[in-house]
Each structure stands twice: as structure tokens, then as C-alpha cells.
Amino acid sequence: MEHEQDWSLIEKARTGDQDAFTQLFQRYYSFLYKYLLKLTLDEEVSADLAQDTMLKCYTNLASFKGEGKFSTWMISISTRLYMDLLRKQKREKNWLNQLKRTLSRQLSWQANTKGMEWSDVFTDFNQLEDDVRVPILLHHYYGYSYDEIGQIMNIRSGTVKSRVHNGLKILRKE
């Protein structure tokens, strides 16, 4: 049902109906933003990436075949934008590799106010390489299969499986 509604909005958006596109994107904005927040741990960067994803979806809507869900396609685009951003940042600032990835100040403050605490595994997880973090998050939290993650990240499903396995192994050791 949801897929059908999406499809009708996609078809309208393809004919240049901006309202249909905004309606479609609004449906998944929260999902997308939350996914990006888990990767970036920063609200501003997540919002910027979500906006870039929206524009990319808008321009490439004609290439969406509809074989998978719209949300999966959107996640795929945002994951690649996130990876591109990281590559760009690493080129610009080599020292960034050595920095610890932590929650943004605002998020930390909000978490403290709400009395939230973070496990050691979460801290260790965030220090893992991104090509390992992304598949673990997609598989264990969002429930995507190895094949789907392979399509999202443009890698073989066997590679996804070994990255998830190795990532969890590193976490066990730490």
C-alpha cells in the first residue's frame, strides 16, 4: 500500500509536480535525518546531508527504477554523499583521521539534560572505520539484508558480510 502511494507520487513528481515530490520527501525526511544522525553524530551535518540528498533525489528521480523501496534508494544516495563528504574532509584535513568521533556539543548537552548515558560499545563503535560502521548499522538496526546493503554501498554482499563480521569482532576485543 505504502509502496503504491509512493509510486503514484513518484510518477507525478517525474512529470514536474513539485508538490508531489515534497510530499514524497516529507514522508521519509525523519527516517533519513535519523539515519544520518547515527552516522555523523551531528545535527547540522545531518540536516545538510539530508538537504543534499533531497536535491540529488530530485535530479535523479528519472533513474529510479522502482525495483526496491524509495526509502532504500534514498538511503543509498545519502550513504554515498556521506562517504563523499568524509573523503573530502580527509583530503582537506589529514589530522581528522586521528580525531575521536563523538556526539556534537548540542547532542551531548541534550543527552545530559535528559539523563541519557551511552555504552562503551557505542563509543567504540563510533571509532570504527565508516565502511564498517555503515553496514553494521544498516544490518543490525535497520534490518537490511547483506544483498541490499551491497546494492546501497555498491559492493559485493560477501564483502558486506565480512565487514559486519570483522567490525563486530573488533568490538568484542575492545
Partner 1 sequence: MKQKEKQYHQIEKLKQDWNQLDELAGNPSLSTIEMKQQLEVYQEKQKKRFYKELVIFFATAVLILSCFIISFVQVPVLFIVIEIGAMILGPIVYFALVKRKNKEGKVLL
Cβ distance 40 to 46 under 8 Å?
A: yes
Q: Which stretch binds partner 1 (CB under 8 A): 3-11, 31-39, 91-99?
A: 31-39
Q: Three-state DSSP class for 101?
A: coil
Q: How far is the CB of 15 from partner 1 (least distance, A)?
A: 15
Q: Does 82 bind partner 1 (CB under 8 A)?
A: no
Q: Does 25 bind partner 1 (CB under 8 A)?
A: yes
Q: How far is the CB of 95 from partner 1 (least distance, A)?
A: 26
Q: Does 147 bind partner 1 (CB under 8 A)?
A: no
Alpha-carbon dihedral sign for residues 129, 105, 46, 41: positive
Crossing angle for the helix pair 70-92 and 146-153, to the nearest 10 degrees: 50
CA distance 86 to 42: 14
1-11 in b/e form (b: 16+ CB < 10 A) is eeeeebeebbe
Among 146, 151, 160, 163, binds partner 1 (CB under 8 A): 151
Q: Does 111 bind partner 1 (CB under 8 A)?
A: yes
CA distance 123 to 169: 15
CA distance 50 to 31: 10
Q: How far is the CB of 76 from partner 1 (least distance, A)?
A: 5
Among 3, 14, 34, 87, binds partner 1 (CB under 8 A): 34
Tally of CB atoms within 10 A around 64: 17
Binding site for partner 1 (CB under 8 A): 18-19, 21-23, 25-26, 29-30, 33-34, 37-38, 41, 43, 47, 50-51, 54-55, 58-60, 63-65, 67-68, 72-73, 76-77, 80, 107, 110-111, 114, 116, 118-119, 121-122, 125, 136-137, 140-141, 151-152, 154, 168, 171-172
